[in-house]
Chains A and B, each alone.
Chain A
Amino acid sequence: MTDTSGTSDTSAAPHKAGAFDIRNIIGALMGIYGVILVLAGLLGEHEPDKTGGVNANLWTGLALIVVAAVFIGWARLRPIVVPEGFDRPDDDPTRPAPQRKRPPTH
């Protein structure tokens, strides 16, 4: 699906993006939200007069868990491979914060 995947077999030690692959981050946040909303739907107040009788927290929670599973599954099946020696990002030069301390590149 992505331009960087699919060629991993050629290099000796492919370095996967792993936990910080953006799809895993999306999956983690959606998953946490899903679980909390399911719990809120099962254990919390139901408030049917607001939602017109639907247990909205429960259903949204379940949907979010499915979304999370899709993203984490996608990241597992087609991992993004971090190539050797890509350009490191520049810190935003105008941001009023300590600059990132990075070892000089070779």
Chain B
Amino acid sequence: MSETLIDATWLDYLLVAIYFGFVLGIGVMARRSVSESIDFFLSGRSLPAWVTGLAFISANLGAVEIMGMSANGAELGLPTFHYFWVGAVPAMLFLGVVMMPFYYGSKVRSVPEFMFRRFGTGAHLVNAISFAVAQLLIAGVNLALLAGIVRALLGWEIWIALIVAGVVVLSYITLGGLSAAIYNEVLQFFVIVASLVPLTLIGLHRVGGWDGLTDKITAASAGASSASEAPPADQQLNAWPGQALSGFDSPLLSVIGIVFGLGFVLSFGYWTTNFVEVQRAMASDSISSARKTPIIGSFPKMFIPFIVIVPGMISAVLVKEMIDLKNGGSPEGGASGEGVAYNDALLLLMRDVLPNGLLGLAIAGLLAAFMAGMAANISAFNTVFSYDLWQRYIRKNHSDDYYLRIGRIATVGATVVAIFTAQIALGYDNVMNYLQTLFGFFNAPLFATFILGMFWKRMTPTAGWVGLVAGTLSAIAVDRTAAAGVFELSGQGVAFLAASVAFTVDIVLSVVVSLVTKPKPASELRGLVYSETPREERTDPHEASYPWWRRTLPLAGISLAMVIILNFAF
């Protein structure tokens, strides 16, 4: 046992315990069906858009957002805001305005299912396998971060913390935490906001406000030692052109890299094909609410960077170890046990500025987010493994009980595998680099195939799977070439490039293959392809009677205008 990173008292543990009491209590009641109201809230297609909108954001406000973005903020500064304003909001609006009617109307439960209906077996098999692998790898990221907190609190060895965290997630799934997913996610959102807002405000107070923060970043950068790899201060303090993020020296290339690589391919790929999130919108009460779900979610999403990235930046000038790390040193400690990393920025800031009490609130929020995140990955893996892979390709026509047993084994198996994939995640100093790499492998080609298949009825089933395979392979090739040192891009530039290449290869090959193979008959594409779906199936007949602030398009317009203003302001 080594010394603990965070000193929590009984008060902090009480706040954590209350949270889990709430979550597990609702989970158990939901499973036993004791209250008609809970059943109502959890039944499909009954929720108002503000609830699904918050759940939508919350499903994403996990490890990636909180630890990854604060790590990125500490390392690179303001360019990280692009992940929200360029890399999320436009894609969320596109999902709501254009894509959601197809999802809501076709009632598919998973991405592979949509692939099966549009392209048939080949694309389905490829996509189901790559989706299952991606979920296992991302579950590993969540588990690694969860174990990091356990280690920071209790000082255990990292591998013991990993196993314990795995067992905790497994019992959370088993006790029914997932049955009450919507309640959990909305509660989690409020707990996280309630702890991160004070963290940001106190942090700003400590460094002397926004001016104090910029002065300190400028001073730290001016006095940096030669070992420091931190970008110059003006790059850290302006969102554009963001060379620190994209890794390109040229400002023009950097802007192109961010807009096309991050803003278009990675972000559209992530938001429009990520069913862990899209499913939240499917629980809403009408096609209009489903479309408004990501749009309503985009409003809090715009302001979340202020409470995750800014604390990271504060941490880099206020916390002793972080200052040392950014100055090229390699301080001892950190959640992984192998020295402080940027991933520790938020935990260290919490240690330094939050009094006991608020500290407990913050720990509850982080534990909840990572646990729910991993549980969602495992549940998504489970659905795809049991039904899309096992039932369709390995053992058809068995009893429901049989597939249920397979599902249980898959859940336990996935947790064990995640303990090993967590090791890969622990090898990255900044977990964001790893995640963006994964998204480039899996989401970028998927998005290319989706978007082409949705708007071009000529696209053939063969093109579906060929594009996916070639896209993923080309992204992996780019990543491995960079890893071998053939070319060099700092920040998340390699991930942006790999995603862009995967997207382009997928589109080009899909078009070429489509032109020489036979398309599906138009009658089978209704509800799946834009031109073959009647307008009535894509819109809500009641929508026109709503006041403007409850209609999809005006809301999307306001959101877009706000995000453009934010881009100019920073």
Interface residues of A (CB under 8 A from B): 1-4, 15, 17-22, 25-26, 28-30, 32-33, 36-37, 40-41, 44-47, 50-52, 54, 56-57, 59-60, 63-64, 67, 80, 82-83, 86-102
Among listed B405-413, B449-457, B468-476, interface-contacting one: B405-413
Report B-chain residues with C-beta under 8 Å of the C-beta of A4. Answer: 46, 48, 285
Contact in complex: A51, B205 (CB < 8 Å): yes
Whether B285 lies near A87 (C-beta < 8 A) is no
Contact status B31-A97, CB under 8 Å: yes
B11 near A44 with CB under 8 A, answer yes
Interface stretch of the complex, out of B151-159, B176-184, B242-250, B261-269? B176-184
Give bound CA distance, A54 to B408, whole Å.
Answer: 50
Chain B, interface size: which category? 35 or more
Bits for B125-148, please: 1 = Cβ < 8 Å to A, else 0: 000000000000000000000000
B332 CB–A CB distance under 8 Å: no
Assess whether B386 is interfacial by the CB under 8 Å rule. yes
Main DSSP-derived SS at the B contact region: helix
A-B Cβ contacts below 8 A, count: 180
A91 to B42, CA, bound (A): 10
B22: interface (CB < 8 Å): yes
Which single member of B19, B31, B286 contacts A100 (CB below 8 Å)?
Answer: B31
> Taking CB as reference atom, which chain A residue is nearest B380?
A94
Distance (Å) between the CB of A16 and the closest chain B CB? Answer: 8
Contacts of B191 in A (CB 8 A): 29, 33
Whole-angstrom CA separation of A92 from B247 in the bound complex:
43
> Which residues of chain B are near A57, meaning CB under 8 Å?
355, 357-358
Residue of A nearest to B194 (CB): A64
Please classify the interface of chain A as helix (H, G, I), strand (E, B), loop, or mixed, using the class held by over half of its residues: loop
Instruction: List, in ascending order, chain A residues with CB within 8 A of B356's CB.
Output: 40, 44-45, 47
| A36–B382 CA distance with the chains assembled, in angstroms | 39
Q: In the complex the two chains form, what is the Cα distance from A52 to B205 in whole Å?
A: 7
List 8 A-B pairs, minimum CB-CB distance, nearest first. A96-B408, A94-B407, A2-B48, A20-B37, A40-B357, A94-B382, A47-B355, A17-B37
Complex contact B176–A89 (CB within 8 A)? no
> Do the beta carbons of B357 and A96 come within 8 Å of each other?
no
A60 adjacent to B407 (CB under 8 Å): no
On chain A, the residues within 8 Å of B48 by CB distance are 1-4, 80
Contacts of B379 in A (CB 8 A): 92, 94-95
A67 near B11 with CB under 8 A, answer no
